[in-house]
Amino acid sequence: MLMTPVREVAQLRETCLLDTTGTNNFQAPTKSIEYLGNFASQQNVGLKVIDVSNQVLIDLQYDAQAKTVALQKYNDDQPRIATVEVTNQFDIHCLIDTSSIEIFVNNGEACFSERIYSENDIRIETDSVSEKDTVRIYQLGGMM
């Protein structure tokens, strides 16, 4: 069974805040965003959600060799780990607001849902090495 965001999320997109390739660091100026990342399957990928005090709220790591995704939350001792079957491409789809993050990996092959608490803006860091990798971030309205 696969879990994916409802199609209506695309209708909530107000502004494309970022459309880039490779490693990036993005300060989100809004409280509700959608993150779409597409990456080459032969490499490791990292995604961090960080608050303004530099506290890492969420650290998501894809290990290409082990074919696993590990999610580490800032106040948890043990990461949550899922195995994913990646062939040509690895993707991450996130919905983030001030109190939660929904992460859909590889078109719903793995799904994580976490409560986060950030009273201020957040920063998103993506660690990838290929210029073919793409990241898009949208501001969402009317949802969260």
Local structure of residue 75 (DSSP, 8 states): T
The rounded distance, in Å, linking the Cα atoms of 103 and 3 is: 10
Asked if 21 and 133 count as a contact pair (C-beta separation under 8 A), the reply is: yes
Quote the CA–CA distance of 28 and 124 in Å, as a whole number. 7
**Percent share of the chain, pLDDT over 90:** 36
Task: Indicate if the pLDDT at residue 120 is higher than 50.
Answer: yes
pTM of the model as a whole: 0.86
Going by C-alpha positions, the residue among 34, 58, 42, 48 that lies closest to residue 133 is 42
Quote the mean pLDDT of the chain.
85
Q: Where are the domains of the chain?
A: 11-140
| Cα–Cα dist 7/36, whole Å | 14
Instruction: Give pLDDT, residue 144.
Output: 43
* Range 11-140 has CATH code 2.60.120.560: yes
Tokens of 86: 């990646």
- pLDDT value at residue 35: 92
The pLDDT of residue 47 is above 60 = yes
